[in-house]
Structure 1
């Protein structure tokens, strides 16, 4: 009798003081707890459980919970089932660690509005007594390992959709160094995307959701891909290259010369509409799918959603020689475009007035010594980095500096305390002791196609004396680009270690800032000019 009264009293007490909890609140909290336990709980982080299966088993119980207290009880019982966590006394490091903590925030574990006091205490205890030693689900350098592989991602199964979302969200939560720089708070992104994960508005909506999620990283290294996206954006594309200027698409070159000629496409054509829809509108509609650290980088990633389609023909409106025209052009599968990626440009050469020019897209480390011998008495050397270089930065830097120079400061993930990063004690400097270093002007050309190693190369070379950067904002992403599968068939990537200037100032999103800003104009493209190179030559001549 007394036991029955006690249970009744407890239930009435909980009923009086508990609060309703929404499905989104429950699942957002479950996502965060699931990820936290995956990387912090000693028994889980050692790989003692099938962690996906654990999620599938707890989700029905989470769904049944109607109040915050009921939810906390479910989570606590789940944690208790994982085995005892032993308390340990952390050893003090031999030397002070320089932590980078702008991403690190586990304050959500102490959210007493959502979690019971005892659950908060339990989560805090796990943090304080987290796994020591090797992680099962992530390796040094950030490599996600030992995830359960599935023969097929079942997008009709809500639990599988939640698993994909939870994996992706937690990868970024703990191992994306630039999370603090994102436009949208990552917690808010989770609560925004969960309702569509639970109830997608269409068969392909979940894939669009993950594409949007990838774009929310504001990281030009980020990319999400899945075959289902071809059903949305299409698999046929145009045979020409283009650049967005003033919300118009300007033809800048050809992927396939003959196919472009068949469609009467000329360099300098200004495309204003596709299928009767203005480029301006198409940019606004599709920008949410474009991964990029800044707006120029996003525009550079809009080819697929705007210039791809399922049909093999499309109507365009264009301007040529001041006249507006409308015509149909053909679209082609990738294999039929037969793009020749071989770059036959000269590696280096003299241009007017004893000015050296090096194309870092094709220059190799073996070429550097011969090139610098040729250019040793040049008035200036222009290094074109509007491309992806071939690892020549350190070799070139030895000829440009009188002594070694620090040019970068990096951070790495601390796997003993996931979410925290540590400043590297030492990054490799560039240059060497060289009294016979190049004394002329050093000019670097950059634009939105300068990404990652291109930007790292610019950082290496810009510390040389008498260096000037000319061009426009770069892609704004540096560090390791890690590509992996969330689940079979769902591919993604993002940056996993951070790169900063030696004074710890950000490069991410900002990119390499030109000393002289030059952007190509429509008229310049139509006249066949390289306005950035032209400005560099002018600067090399008169220093202005």
Structure 2
């Protein structure tokens, strides 16, 4: 009798366990994954035979009613069956020359998700094996480049009063990253964890502002300095932006003024290079650093702080309270900031700056090139002037103008490969292929024989980093400065009615497959500006480069 009772208890407990209720977030996260997988893998869905957004909106009420794993799996199974039979095809074998990069690729959830029945997992496995092999309906890849673009997507804002409408946009974006962001494997937080945290935030968002804040928090987790998330502002006065009349850099949890953007505006409040800002509207710079981490996307800390400066020095108010630190004493100024746009700010900036030289010869026969100004048409004159120098300093603490090829021909004695790439395989979404590379230089016995020095910092992003990789092949190149932005690769842009966003579209690596994303270009000699150095008008990075030319160390 005791054995029978024990047996019945075991059966009963097993039944209760198997019928345990599942949470709303678990259901929705799993549905998001299935919906995205079918979108790019199911032959009929990926071909555009269904309105896939409507399909999601129709299935979500059924998902909402499912209370157990069995009920959830049955809803998904019936949904898949309603799409029609998936024909069994011959095994898909990649070309022998294809080398996959699989750090991003992971469909293990098909077998491990605790909400899936064995039958459901087998259905999804079968679809993977017999996946769509035509032209994708929802995604496209630029020829020869590889970064993806959206097509046939709904770009309209969600209905902020409709939970399922909001979830549709979250699911669309999450799966875009899941399958087509080349650096997903480098995120600091697992992408599926980001989804689980985002679902409840999106559900409770009641208006555009709260919804886009929730989405901004999702986007920030890409840890990619290329990423921006810009919402389109209305014409109301509450959205007018005002600006501090100078730019700055965060050092030791303070903002140091590094550049005057409008001389007349700065003079009105006696703002000078080297001034130290400790608070804006009674909030310390340290507090700004802490509270914006989930709202700004950056590959590393150096890039994050650089982006944060723009946030702190921009406001919605005309009158702003700013605390300064000078000679050990704190002083508060009530400043008037102005609502001039970026185009106007550039005009102010031009008026505040002295004209810069594209290239010049410094003391001791050392050449200097400002890579942010010089253009291809200037290279012949640059070569003629700087070829006799003993060293050339290429200042790339800026964004170059596509001059890498002509300069590398001058620097390199022969053609050398400096970068290789990973690009998405649209026939197997989520997988990436090693695909081609870039070379520079040519057989040139008359190449530059002096030292080559490249100056970099957190403002060196994308083309700056890629160009630095190119110049490193010269063999006599030394990188001096600090960590770069760590965002390499062509950018993929996505424009919606309510917001615009972008991310690094292809993977960029050194020829030996060392990564550059998040790490950036590692300096041979690390130098960071100091508050005192800025106040004294020094360029400590350039000074260190000049010392290296003379001493070799």
TM-score range, shorter chain: over 0.9
Q: What is aligned with 1:542? A: 551
Q: List aligned pairs for 1:228-377, cutoff 5 A.
A: 235-335=241-341, 338-340=345-347, 344-377=355-388
User: What does residue range 372-387 of structure 1 map to in structure 2 within 5 Å?
Assistant: 372-387=383-398
- Partners in 1 of 2:453 and 2:71 — Cα distance? 65
CA contact (8 A) 2:21 2:67 kept: yes
1:158-184 CA-partner distances (Å, limit 9, x unpaired)? 122111111111111000111111000
For 2:438 and 2:224, how far apart are their aligned partners in 1? Answer: 25
1:277-305 CA-partner distances (Å, limit 9, x unpaired): 21111211112212110001011111344
**Unaligned 5+ residue runs, structure 1?**
1-12
How far off its partner does 1:322 sit? 4.1
Aligned-pair distance for 1:320? 2.8
The residue aligned with 1:220 is 225
1:118 aligned to 2:119? yes
CA contact (8 A) 1:221 1:292 kept: yes
Aligned in 2, Cα 1:112/1:248: closer, same or farther, shift over 3 Å? closer
The correspondence for 1:416, drawn from 423, 427, 444, is: 427
TM-score normalised to the size of structure 1? 0.93
Aligned match of 1:528: 537
Q: Post-superposition, which runs of at least 4 consecutive aligned residues in structure 1 deviate over 6 A?
A: 13-16, 228-234
Q: Which residue of 2 aligns with 1:443?
A: 453
Whether 1:185 and 2:190 are equivalent positions in the alignment is yes
* Pick aligned residue for 1:513 from 522, 531, 535: 522
Q: How many angstroms apart in 1 are the aligned matches of 2:95 and 2:48?
A: 30
Secondary structure in structure 1 of the residue aligned to 2:474 = coil
Q: Does 1:199 align with 2:204?
A: yes
Q: Which one of the candidate residues 481, 484, 493 is aligned to 2:502?
A: 493
Structure 2 CA distance for aligned equivalents of residues 221 and 527 of structure 1: 33
Following TM superposition, by how much is the alpha carbon of 1:90 offset from its aligned partner in structure 2, in angstroms? 2.8
1:276/1:25 CA distance change after superposition, 3 Å? same
Distance change (3 Å), C-alpha of 1:149 and 1:214: closer
- Bigger mean CA deviation after superposition, 465-474 or 335-344: 335-344
Alignment of 1:51-200 (within 5 A): 51-111=52-112, 113-140=114-141, 141=146, 142-150=148-156, 152-200=157-205
Shift of 1:370: 2.2
Report deviation, 1:94. Answer: 4.2
Residues 409-429 of structure 1 show CA distances to partners (whole Å, capped at 9, x for unaligned) of: 1100000000000001x3131
**Alpha-carbon contact 2:255-2:309 (below 8 Å) kept:** no
Q: Distance in 1 between matches of 2:18 and 2:325?
A: 68
Query: Which moved further from structure 2: 407-416 or 107-116?
Result: 107-116
SS in 1 for 2:416: coil
CA–CA distance in 2 between the matches of 1:455 and 1:205? 35
SS of the aligned residue for 2:417 comes to coil
TM-score, reference length from structure 2? 0.92
Q: After the TM superposition, which of the residue ranges 274-283 and 175-184 deviates more from structure 2?
A: 274-283
Q: Number of aligned pairs?
A: 530
3-state SS of 2:109 partner: helix
Q: Which shows bigger deviation, 341-350 or 78-87?
A: 341-350
- Equivalent residue, structure 1, for 2:10: none
* 2:485 aligned partner: 475
Write the distance in 1 (CA, Å) between the matches of 2:222 and 2:240: 24
Alignment CA distance shift 1:19-1:367 (3 Å): same
Match of 1:456 in 2: 466
Equivalents in 1 of 2:182, 2:259: separation in Å?
36
TM-superposed CA distance for 1:16, in Å, is 7.2
Deviation at 1:321, TM superposition (A): 4.1
CA distance in 2, matches of 1:259, 1:98: 57
Quick one: distance in 1 between partners of 2:446 and 2:208? 65
Q: Is the 8 A contact 2:161 2:206 kept in 1?
A: no
Distance 2:218 2:199 in 1: 11
Distance 1:233 1:305, change over 3 A: farther
| 8 A Cα contact 1:361 1:388, kept in partner | yes
Change (3 A) 1:232 1:481: farther
Q: In structure 2, what is the Cα distance between the partners aligned to 1:498 and 1:435? A: 33
Distance in structure 2 (CA, Å) of the matches to 1:215 and 1:233: 22
- Aligned with 1:83: secondary structure? coil
Q: Specify the alignment match of 2:48 in structure 1.
A: 47
Counterpart pick for 1:208 among 198, 206, 213? 213
- The 1:411/1:203 distance shift into structure 2, 3 A limit, reads closer
| 8 Å CA contact retained: 2:160, 2:206 | no
* Structure 2 Cα separation of the partners of residues 232 and 131 of structure 1: 48
Moved more, 207-216 or 408-417: 207-216
Secondary structure of 2:502 counterpart: strand
